[in-house]
Every structure is written in structure tokens, then in C-alpha cells.
Amino acid sequence: MMTLNERFKALEAENAPGQESRQDVNDLDSIVCGEKIEGVPVDFSHGDIDAFPPTPGSVEAWNKGYEMGGEQAYTQYRGSAKILKGVAERISAFTGSPVLADKELIITPGTQGALFLALGSTIESGEKVAVVEPDYFANRKLVKYFNGIIAPIPLNYQGDSSQNGPDLDCLEKTFKEGTKVFVFSTPNNPTGVVYSKDAINKIANLASFYNVTLIVDQLYSRLLYKGETYTHLCACNVLLENIITIMGPSKTESLSGFRLGVAFGTSRLIERMERLQAIVSLRAAGYNQAVLDGWLMEPEEWMKKRVSEHEAIRNDLLKVFRSAGLSVATPQAGSYLFPKLPSLKINTKLFVQLLRYQAGVIVTPGSEFGPTTRDSIRLNFSQDHQRAVAAAKRIVEMINRYQK
């Protein structure tokens, strides 16, 4: 059992996306190589919702919620029964798997909230939790915070794309050795890899056989590129006794400012998550919940356009990085790119600080996503198209300056 000091050491957030403004950059002048590189600053640490604004009608939905007054301000902890009903129907249709509105669904403060509640409701102190490397940076922190022990599962993403996905042999070995929880994102954050149908079925079968709880983060499953297919684990033909799926409107739909997420699955776990929510923050902000009334029912053309615009940015950034000789997987979904840097004269964290200081570009160091990707950087390319391309070129220029 860790002391509080140790636990909070594990929660260091200085390099987390969005926290860059709290870093101390006084000493960079002495090591800067060359002049500043001009250009409109781009913050790749998260999506730019000014470039891709929230779903049309969101503000109207919010104001409608506000007008409802007390009923909407004080919902059940798991969220407004009326809103849950609509969301359950649309999630059932989206995933192809029925969700009971009053038993199997909870509205949370963002998908971060859903992850916290899901892992807090399933990790026993001292038990092993399978975590993919690389994967969403908070997964590792959450496991440590809940006194779990990380059992690392390597993700293949840099070679032949038909081999992309988690190392399933390693996963089975880990399950066999007693791991009781497996948390992962598909589409994977930070690489954009979508788990194949075969991989999903294998995971389901292994989890069923070894009685493992699955926490599946599908935050980016709606931003799926041409020719790709998405397999919902919750809809597979295997009886899974303990599964929580997490989604939310913060990314594709640019509704992050509302802090909304949903989790659905095993009712016993949803019940636990609600109990935990009651002491964590009571509920997702009441009026904000009303914005979910428009979720998963956006105009089809609007969604299509949003996906194709992201695909165009993805393609251009891949060109910029690949022309410069960088190794980078093609994201099948989502808006993350995870290029690997060549050998530099400085470490990646310092390079990332210099990128911000010297080139006006904010990215997230690969070390946030696991110990095996310290030489990569993550970009959220949900940005203004031209500015993103220009900023990617500045990254390449910076790599040239600091390359060994």
C-alpha cells in the first residue's frame, strides 16, 4: 500500500495535455538552437473547438435545460431519467446492443469521470490490471491511484497495419496469471489504431473464460475514416458478465466544455459507479446533461463533413511527417497522430518544451502514454487545417535542428 505522498507522486500532471502553461520555461534560452520559428501558434494537446465548433443546437439544448429549473439542476446522481432514456435508445442503435436506461447507464462528468468511476468500482487494492502500452495517459495513473498493479500489454502499431492491435498472447498470459481487470481504448489514444473484429472477439472470449472485467473506452468510435470498420465489444456474441463501455460527446462533437460522458454495461457496476459519483461530485452538471438530448442524432451531413475534414487533415500531416522520414502509423479513427522522433541531441520532454517556446507548437510527450514510447509525440489534429500543416512543418524543422 502506497503512502499518500507516493500516490500523488504517481499523479504528476505537469506534462499532461492542457497543463503546459504551468511549466517553468526560464532556462530554455541557454539551450535554444537557432532563432524562433514564426507561425500561428497551434495547441495540439487537445482539439481546437474554435476550428471545429460544437454540434449545432447545443447552446439551445443547454438553455432549455436551464429553463427547466430545479428538475434539471437536481437529477438523480446517475443523471436525468428522461435524458437517460433517450441516450439509452440511441446507444443501443449505435452499438447494436440493448442498454436498459434505468439500470445499465450513467451520465458522468466527462469520459474522464466515467473512467475514474469505472476503474474505482472494479480495481481491488493490490490486484493486477492489464493496461495497453501506449494508451490514454490517465489509465496508468488511475490504476496506480487505486492501488492496482499495471500488467503491461504491448500494442502493435508501427509495422504492417494488418498486425495492428494488442499483443493477445501477452493478454492471455496476463489473464491466466490472475489479472482481473482490462482497460483499453479503441480507437486507441494516442495511435488511432482500431481493434479488429478478430481482436475484439478474442478479447471477449478470453475475458469470459478468465472472468475478467472489461473497461472499454470508445470515445473516438464515431470519427471513423473511409474504409475502416468498427467492432463494438459490447455487441459481440459472447456472454460478458462484467463490462463497462465508455463514450461521450467531447471529441467528434466538440462538446468538451460541457464535461459530459456516459458509461453503460453491467448494472451491478453502474450501481457502484453511481455510489462513487455521489461522493465524488454528486452528478454531471444538471443543465449540461440536457445537451445530451441532441447527442447521437446530429444531422447526417454534418457528421459526414466533420469526419471527412479530419481525414483531409490527417492525410496532409501524414505526408509532412513521412516526407521528413518520420515513422508514424495511419490513424484509422479519431484525431490523434503519434509520430516517432529520430534520435535527438536533447530528450523528448525538453524538445517538447522547446517546440512550444521556439516554434509555437504544443504537443504531448509520448512518455505520458507509457514507458515504451518516450521518443514519440502526440498531436490532436482536430485543428484549423492550414495552421496544423504549417505547425507540422515547424515540428519537422525543429527535428532537423535538434537531430543527432
Q: How far is the CB of 105 from a copy of itself (least distance, A)?
A: 14
Minimum separation from the CB atom of position 64 to a copy of itself (A): 12
Q: How far is the CB of 72 from a copy of itself (least distance, A)?
A: 6
CB neighbour class for 140 (10 Å; exposed up to 12, middle 13-18, buried from 19): buried
- Nearer to a copy of itself by Cβ, of 11 and 33: the residue is 11
- 174 burial (CB, 10 Å; 0-12 / 13-18 / 19+) is buried
In whole angstroms, how close is the CB of 122 to a copy of itself at the nearest point?
7
Under 8 Å between Cβ of 352 and 363: yes
**Least CB distance from residue 89 to a copy of itself, whole Å?**
20
Distance in Å, CB of 224 to a copy of itself, minimum: 24
- Residue closer to a copy of itself (CB basis): 278 or 312: 278
Q: Please, which residue, 203 or 285, has the CB nearer to a copy of itself?
A: 285
Q: Which is nearer to a copy of itself, 17 or 342 (CB)?
A: 17
Shortest separation between residue 126's beta carbon and a copy of itself, angstroms: 8
- Closest CB to a copy of itself among residues 205, 281: 281
Cα–Cα distance, 219 to 217 (Å, whole number): 6
Which C-beta is closer to a copy of itself: that of 157 or that of 369? Answer: 369
Q: How far apart are CA 232 and CA 25, in angstroms?
A: 44
Residues 120, 128: Cα–Cα separation, whole Å: 14
* Spatial contact of 233 and 243, defined as CB atoms under 8 Å apart: yes
Least Å from the CB of residue 7 to a copy of itself = 9
Which residues contribute to the site for a copy of itself (CB under 8 A)? 1, 3-4, 8, 11-13, 16, 18-19, 21-22, 46, 48-50, 53, 59, 62-63, 66, 69-70, 72-77, 81, 108-110, 112-113, 116, 121-125, 138, 141-142, 145, 256-259, 272, 274-276, 278-288
The residue among 161 and 211 lying less far from a copy of itself, judged by its C-beta, is 211
Question: Looking at beta carbons only, is 136 or 321 nearer to a copy of itself?
Answer: 136
